[in-house]
Amino acid sequence: MQKEVIVDYNTELNKELKLLLKKSYQELSKIEKKSIKLAFETARNAHGNQVRKSGEPYIFHPLKVARIVSEEIGLGATSIIAALLHDVVEDTNITIDDVEILFGKEVSKIVDGLTKISKLSKDKRVSIQAENFKKMLLSINDDVRVILIKIADRLHNMMTLDFLSVEKQVRISSETLFIYAPLAHRIGMYNIKTKLEDLSLKFTEPDVYHGIEKKIKESEKERLKYIKNFSKKLEGHLKTQKILFRTEGRFKSIFSIRKKMQLKNKRYDEVFDQFAVRIIYKSNQKNEKFLAWKIYSIVTDHFQPNPTRLRDWISSPKSTGYEALHITIVGPGGKWIEVQIRSERMHEIAEKGYAAHFKYKSNSKNITEDGMDKWLDKLRNIVKANESDAIDFVNDFKLNLYSSEIFVFTPMGDLKSLPTNATPVDFAFSIHSEIGEKTRGSRVNGKIVPLNFKLNSGDQVEIITSETAKPNASWLDFVVTSKARSEIRTSLRVEERKIAEEGKELLRRKLKQMKFNFSEKIINALVSYFNLKTSLDLFYRVGFGTIDNKMLKSFAAEEKNRFFQLFKRRPSDKPKKNELHDENISSFYDLLVFGKNYEKFEYKLSPCCKPIPGDGVFGFVSINDGIKVHKNDCPNAISLHSNYGYRIINAKWIDSSKGFFTGILKLSGIDRIGLISEVTNIISKSHNVDISQLNFDTENGTFSGEIKLNVKKASKLVTLIKKLEKINGIDKVVRD
């Protein structure tokens, strides 16, 4: 019986190997096929009797990964060999030197990169380890194929996830949705991205997944018939123009349907454009654009288009290299249908991404794997330029991966691609770091706009700079590109160190006046007394003025009193070492605030992920327990966001003695000339408070106004209210 099972496995393995060699996207030479067979036998012998959770021999995994690399990503022999060997160094007795001797330096370098990633992923305490992920992405600087094979590895692991525990299924699926699916999208591997999303949803929200899957199957025959009939009508109109083409009917993925249901708060049967048809036409590159718009014209002549749903990625391709025209039309029976218009070249790039891009770039059937291009350079630069800590890195990177694109113009008419919701500050840093750092203001389409203004496609953006300008901490609340965030943080750290140095010298003088020596012992006591984390935090606050003379004198009085009490003890009561300074130094993130206005609410820390001060977190408004706080990488995060997006509230740990608060003051009274000027002078000049927004309305001699302010302390608002109430004409000032 055992012998029969082995024979069956051998038959299946040989079948898989033949398919690998036969269905390769790239044309393989006899020598390359021989090397691939050798790699297969090497991996097979090395893995020996190892089996997966499914019970099948382990060798099936690298073989399936190699097929994904070959057929779906479209890479060549070097990558196929590396995929077959990607686990041998980690899991068997074969060394990286053995791989280099047998298959050369290029293959061994890729396998080594994959082995390092595998070792970094062993710690499974959280959904994704920030430091490990950062190191993994850094490998793109060595060879992008490491990342591509890793994505293929993740896809096959997701396809065999049924055999793992529910806990592991959810964790791995959350990790996949968090990074691997959007990463595949960013690199242009849309088919793989869709598969990763659907498989992840299957395990993170099984009820939702199977519910949508069931409804799709129930309507499958009717749907296929509808698409077939529509395609025939479409083909009839296109053939009259002698356009060589083919059509493909398809249905939206389960994940994309779920996403639209959640975003639009609609039922399954209310989701927009579930049907989709691709028109793939033959053309040389010179006539591609002309033919695309000709097909568009024919389609819209016979079917009513939705003008708000036109997507032109031919004139302005996505940064991933994707090109196509997307239109949504009203089909027979009043049903919405998305029509995608692509040339064969565009279609191949959309399906294969990286490999097809270079096939057409080199105009050769044989694709070399040595080239890189601008859109891959962008991905590499995001990794290379980011000097933030691991947590910030992951959040910034994820933010950029998930972003759609807008296209804006420089004053000279150059086109720049930015993520959706990008601001003039993001634009400034995308031009050059120095322009970003010296940004003072901006004009969009000739009009002055605030720095947090959200840009739209087609905007012309001009940056106003000043030699005295410098980045502001509040910019981090609205910039969306990782480059801008990284540069702002770097600049703030430099400024903070400068203030800290000044504070250190100031504190030295203050302590001397109070008869204290400037020593490590007294600095530790001060850090503990003010509930800070490091001496740098202490020096910064002294330099900035949030720790003033009065506060230092209070510390001095308490410290001297404690010393006096210890001095009065009997010899047997001699204090133990560090008795004066053994308090637990609390984290410098000591306050949790919610929403855009940094409001304070009652909350509970969720036991499922156990967040601590400083973690990236969000609030979830539960039915019985009020606001429950979860970490951003909590295993339940994706499920909560997907199912209950309307109950999610932004949350942020801040330093209450250092952070900015947004305060809102409402004013009313009798209108007079110069009133607004007097109000702004008191706020900005007399008290040096930043006004982020100001609105005043007048009617029949009276006025009402609202002012948004960025303040260091809530107590500052109390002072301002008292001052503003004294202005002639102001009847009432209240804090909203």
* CB distance 149 to 83 below 8 Å: yes
> How far apart (Å, rounded) are the C-alpha atoms in residues 486 and 425?
12
* 3-state helix/strand/coil string of 597-658: CCECCCEEECCCCCCCCCCCEEEEECCCCCEEEEECCCCCHHHHHHHCHHHEEEEEEECCCC
SS3 659: coil
Given the residues 91, 131, 213, 312, the one annotated as active site: 91
Is residue 91 among the annotated active site residues? yes
Triad 274, 280, 283: Cα angle to 5°: 155
User: What's the order of all strands across the beta sheet hosting 245-251?
Assistant: 245-251, 275-281, 336-343, 325-330, 311-312
CA distances (Å), origin 110, targets 35, 78, 100, 103: 16, 9, 10, 11
Torsion on CA atoms 430, 433, 435, 436, rounded to nearest 10: 70
CA distances (Å), origin 306, targets 300, 315, 518: 10, 19, 72
How long a stretch of residues is the chain?
736
CA distances (Å), origin 59, targets 87, 110, 236: 10, 19, 49
CB atoms within 10 A of CB 284: 9
Given the residues 12, 71, 90, 495, the one annotated as active site: 90
Q: What is the DSSP letter of 417?
A: E
Partners of 599 in beta bridges = 594
Task: Please name the amino acid found at residue 668.
Answer: S
Is residue 269 among the annotated active site residues? no
> How far apart (Å, rounded) are the C-alpha atoms in residues 322 and 179?
20
Q: What is the DSSP letter of 26?
A: S
* 3-state helix/strand/coil string of 230-244: HHHHHHHHHHCCCCC
* CB distance 35 to 103 below 8 Å: yes
Question: Catalytic residue positions?
Answer: 90-91
